[in-house]
Amino acid sequence: MKGNTEMTTFVGQAGVSTYQAIALKHGLKMYAACGMQPNRMWTPTAMLKTAGAITGQKFKRGQYLEAVDALQVWIDENGTTGQ
């Protein structure tokens, strides 16, 4: 078999929180870059509100890249590395 045969899994509540933060970070980056929402439910307001709930900070409209940076800090400090 050719290619990468390794896999990462996130287990337990800490793993789920880490996965959510990573997915949200990428959704915010995509919205900041081209204005495209990851899906209908993840509006810019909902993404910033969830980023605030994860990081404990408040984000105002338009602070997408600030939320991305805060999520990355949270992931580095609190996230699991996967198994």
At 55, give phi and psi (nearest 5°).
Answer: -90, -20
**pLDDT band per the 50, 70, 90 thresholds, residue 83:** very low
Q: How many CB atoms lie within 10 A of CB 72?
A: 15
Residue 1 has pLDDT above 60, yes or no: no
Q: How far apart are CA 61 and CA 35, in angstroms?
A: 13
Q: How far apart are CA 76 and CA 25, in angstroms?
A: 13
Token duo for residue 72: 């990355």
pLDDT in tens, 29-81: 999 999 999 999 999 999 999 999 999 999 999 999 999 999 999 999 987 76
Supply the pLDDT for residue 3: 64
Q: In the chain, what are the domain boundaries?
A: 14-77
Instruction: Please state the pTM of the whole predicted model.
Output: 0.83
Mark 52-71 as b/e (b = at least 16 C-beta within 10 Å): bebbebebeeebbebbbebb
